[in-house]
Amino acid sequence: MPVFPRVRVVPRDDDIRQFIKHPSGGPFPASGAAEWPLDTFTNRRLADGDITLEGGNKSERPPTRHAHQ
């Protein structure tokens, strides 16, 4: 099983905070950021605009790590 770097992510709004949870990273806390692995699920949520990286520029994303590496 690949090991993915972990990133801190912030939900776009309270609906995302309440309803989206990472399959292995878990739900968002009541406030603040969550720590999720930078995997396909997280990259898809970043691309959709559902989440952003904590403290980062919204247009800035870390490089994608592919599972076969």
Residue 24 lies in a domain: yes
Tokens of 23: 């399959």
DSSP symbol at 15:
H
Distance CA 27, CA 5 (A): 18
Which are the contacts of 56, defined by CB distance < 8 A and separation ≥ 6? none
- Strand, coil or helix: 19: helix
Strand pairing report for 51-53 and 6-11: antiparallel
Asked if the structure places residue 40 within a domain, the reply is yes
Q: How many domains does the chain have?
A: 1
Is 69 part of any domain?
A: no
Whether residue 68 lies inside any domain: the answer is no
Per-residue pLDDT of the chain (69 residues; tens, 9 = 90+): 788 999 999 999 999 999 999 999 999 999 999 999 999 999 999 999 999 999 865 545 555 554 544
Prediction pTM value: 0.77
What domain range is 33 assigned to?
6-53
